[in-house]
Amino acid sequence: MKNMNSMMKKAQNLQKKMMKTQAELATKTIEASSGGGMVKVIANGAQKIESIVMEKEVVDPEDIEMLQDLVLAAVNDALNKSQEMVTSEMGKLTGGLNLPGL
């Protein structure tokens, strides 16, 4: 029984640390770009896009598809980098354990 209480306490401590880390990650940002920096996207550790910035030269009314592709590429890259940041930080807490939902 004593061992079970110890395990529960460790699990509760890990949960507290994970919640704190998630809150901290929500304030951290990463930047991704496409088109040689013509489209820039900033995402946070909560997997939310905070901003999209486009150089005016990339906006061509005759080629909307290119702009859409550049925005899509930059957004996907930003979300991937954000997920990598989260996985890395959470991995430090879990010791590399692959826990569901992280």
pTM of the predicted structure, to 2 decimals = 0.78
- Could you tell me the CATH number of the domain that includes residue 53? 3.30.1310.10
pLDDT tens series, the chain, 102 aa: 678 888 888 888 888 988 998 899 999 999 999 999 999 999 999 999 999 999 999 999 999 999 999 999 999 999 999 999 999 988 888 775 655 555
Place of tokens 């692959």: 98
Q: Which two tokens stand for residue 52?
A: 């999209």
If one counts the domains in the chain, the total is 1
Give the dihedral sign, CA 55/61/63/64. positive
Domain assignment present for residue 100? The answer is no
Note whether residue 62 is domain-resident.
Answer: yes
Residue type, 82: S
